[in-house]
Amino acid sequence: MNDNAASAVAGAPNVSVAVKRLCEILLASITALAAAGEVEQACRRAGEAYVTLRQADPVAARRFDVLLHRMTRMENAKNDRG
């Protein structure tokens, strides 16, 4: 194995940890966006994140899918109330 391949393999867990942390940051940011009244934009960002991750990391993608559906239900309930 050459040095570049060894570095890539050795760095793989760090990349996974970084991606997981970025997903957590993005989930929190999308949630804050929705709480600030920008539910439509938050739903768009959650959908984009889902599409981006669905093949590469289905578990992470599912978290965005769940958030998207939760925000959609909350927005629909708010609209139904008036």
pLDDT for 75 beyond 90: no
pTM for the complete prediction? Answer: 0.77
Our CA dihedral for 31, 32, 36, 38, rounded to 10 degrees, sits at -50
Number of domains into which the chain is organized: 1
Q: Which carries the bigger pLDDT value, residue 8 or residue 50? A: 50
pLDDT tens digits along 10-48: 555 677 898 999 999 999 999 999 999 999 999 999 999
Domain with 53, as residue range(s), is 3-81
